[in-house]
């Protein structure tokens, strides 16, 4: 029988009294909102895919949610030493998966980002993001603590290896997100300004080249820069959904956008929230992500531990950054990137990767985690 008493020495009790319950609750709240939205979109999505079961998508999402919560809680119980080792192992597996997409990747919308097996699809680039962040934090921390350790050089090399492999799929949106989070970590670590400017310039060259050589990137940017969207385009339907929802929304389950927008349960689920529940729910979603980021950033500086600061700030920035990209794309504030909304959008890779990131974040920011790490060497 589990005991949650403070004096209990069980792993469950120790986790309960040291984990940041606010951040954990906020993540679970977003998962609940996502489940309700996927439930609303499930019949329409099933009809488009000609599935016999109207609720096939929410049933699969239920399995993903269960697996994600188990993963989040299990990872959040681990020590900092275990998190570092898990990140290295996870990076090797995720990087191998990204490389494998070049060989057997399933092409969707101009990019081979998925690996299909046994009826399931896996997007390795979703998983490489959180583990890359933690490994980078470890290298930057070691660079400060260990004399003559080339942590900064290794961090730059790891970034180039990761960014170029993801960019080659091609996945420009994920590459930009990974680059932005890495740059934040490097700024925290005191990287020389000339190196930041050099890498930033190289990034601009890659983005410019993507426009001229990648058709799907050029199409999305051209649509974004056009004065008006084509009638019937996904972004136009998304904007119509927000207009129809107004302040209070049409009501749960009463939206029209899910019947005409193919990606409404994934990339454009924020538009469904806006139409069915209005500005009030979209504001709550934005505020919840902001609360996770701000709280995580605050906790990262509590113990004066460089690894905790680099890793927690990076993980929080990745979750918040991906949410910003998804929501801004739905609102036509930037070109569509094909990114999901963490914890909310339908999809196994998205849910499991988000829960992995949150589990690592919770483990890193647990009370006494940094002190226990010092005691264990």
Whether 26 maps to a domain, the answer reads yes
Q: Which comes out higher in pLDDT, residue 206 or 366? A: 366
* DSSP state string for 139-188: HHHHHHHSTT--HHHHHHHHHHHHHHHHHTTT-HHHHHHHHHHHHHHHHH
CA distance 294 to 17: 21
Asked if pLDDT for residue 375 goes beyond 60, the answer is no
Task: Identify whether 134 is part of a domain.
Answer: no
**Residue 291: is its pLDDT beyond 90?**
yes
Reply yes or no on whether the pLDDT at 369 is more than 50.
yes
Q: What percent of the chain has pLDDT over 90?
A: 59
> What pLDDT band is residue 109 in, cutting at 50, 70 and 90?
low
Given a cut of 90, is residue 24 above it in pLDDT? yes
Q: Is residue 277 part of a domain?
A: yes
**What is the pLDDT at residue 64?**
97
pLDDT score of 231: 47
Q: What is the pLDDT of residues 130-185, one digit of tens each?
A: 999 999 999 999 999 998 899 999 999 999 999 999 988 878 889 989 999 999 99
Report residue 252 as tokens.
Answer: 């749960």
DSSP string, 35-80: HHHHHHHHHHHHHHTT-S-TTHHHHHHHHHHHHHHHHHHHHHTS-H
pLDDT digits (tens, 9 = 90+) for 238-257: 899 999 998 899 999 888 88
φ/ψ of 344, rounded to 5, equals -105, -45
Does residue 63 fall inside a structural domain?
yes
Instruction: Report pLDDT for 168.
Output: 83
Name the residue among 226, 326, 230 with its Cα closest to residue 272: 326
| Highest-confidence segment of 4-13, 111-120, 182-191 | 182-191
Q: Residue 334: is its pLDDT beyond 80? A: yes
Q: Is residue 92 part of a domain?
A: no
Is residue 61 in some structural domain?
yes
- State the residue for tokens 């979109």: 41
Domain membership of residue 274 as a residue range: 17-86+166-172+192-370
Closest by Cα among 305, 365, 272 to 41: 272
Indicate if the pLDDT at residue 102 is higher than 60. yes
Give the integer Cα–Cα distance in Å for 4 and 62. Answer: 27
b/e 232-248 (16+ beta carbons within 10 angstroms → b): eebbbbbbbbbebbeee
Percent of the chain at pLDDT > 70 equals: 89
**Shortest CA distance to 210 belongs to which of 182, 169, 181, 161?**
169
Q: Is the pTM of this model over 0.75?
A: yes
Q: Residue 97: how many CB atoms within 10 A of its CB?
A: 18
| Average pLDDT over the chain, rounded to an integer | 88
User: Helices 269-300 and 21-48: crossing angle, nearest 10°?
Assistant: 160
Contacts of 66 (CB under 8 A, 6+ apart): none
**Could you read off the pLDDT of 111-132 as tens digits, one per residue?**
667 888 766 788 999 999 999 9
Residue 135 lies in a domain: no
Whether residue 363 is predicted with pLDDT greater than 50 in this model: the reply is yes
Number of domains into which the chain is organized: 1
- If you average pLDDT over residues 42-70, what whole number do you get? 94
Is it true that the peptide bond before 170 is cis, omega within 30 degrees of 0? yes
pLDDT of residue 104 exceeding 60, the answer is: yes
Question: Is residue 113, in this structure, part of any structural domain at all?
Answer: no
Residue 216 has a pLDDT of 64
For 284-303, what is the mean pLDDT? Answer: 95
């Amino acid at each position: 029988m589990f005991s949650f008493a403070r004096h209990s020495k069980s792993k469950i009790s120790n986790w309960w009294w040291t984990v940041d319950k606010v951040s954990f609750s906020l993540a679970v709240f977003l998962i609940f909102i996502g489940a309700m939205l996927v439930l609303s979109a499930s019949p329409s999505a099933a009809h488009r895919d000609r599935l016999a079961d109207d609720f096939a998508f929410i049933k699969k999402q239920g399995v993903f949610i269960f697996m994600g919560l188990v993963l989040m809680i299990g990872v959040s119980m681990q020590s900092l030493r275990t998190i570092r080792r898990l990140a290295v192992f996870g990076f090797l597996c995720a990087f191998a998966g990204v490389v494998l997409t070049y060989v057997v990747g399933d092409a969707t919308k101009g990019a081979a980002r998925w690996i299909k097996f046994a009826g399931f699809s896996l997007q390795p680039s979703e998983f490489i993001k959180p583990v890359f962040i933690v490994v980078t934090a470890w290298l930057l921390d070691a660079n400060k603590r260990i004399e003559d350790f080339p942590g900064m050089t290794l961090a730059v090399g790891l970034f180039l290896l990761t960014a170029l492999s993801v960019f080659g799929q091609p996945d420009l949106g994920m590459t930009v997100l990974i680059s932005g989070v890495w740059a934040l970590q490097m700024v925290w670590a005191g990287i020389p300004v000339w190196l930041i400017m050099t890498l930033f310039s190289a990034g601009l060259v890659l983005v410019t080249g993507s426009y001229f050589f990648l058709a799907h990137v050029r199409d999305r940017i051209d649509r974004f820069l056009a004065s008006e969207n084509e009638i019937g385009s996904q972004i136009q339907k998304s904007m119509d959904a927000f207009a129809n929802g107004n302040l209070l929304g049409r009501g749960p389950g009463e939206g029209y956008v899910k019947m005409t927008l193919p990606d409404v349960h994934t990339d454009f689920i924020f538009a469904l929230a806006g139409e069915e529940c209005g500005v009030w729910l979209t504001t709550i979603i934005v505020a919840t992500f902001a609360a996770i980021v701000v709280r995580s950033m605050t906790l990262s500086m509590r113990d004066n531990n460089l690894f905790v600061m680099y890793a927690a700030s990076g993980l929080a920035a990745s979750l918040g950054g991906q949410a910003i990209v998804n929501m801004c794309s739905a609102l036509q504030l930037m070109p569509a990137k094909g990114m999901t909304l963490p914890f909310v959008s339908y999809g196994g890779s998205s849910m499991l990767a988000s829960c992995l990131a949150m589990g690592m974040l919770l483990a890193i920011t647990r009370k006494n985690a940094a002190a226990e790490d010092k005691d264990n060497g």
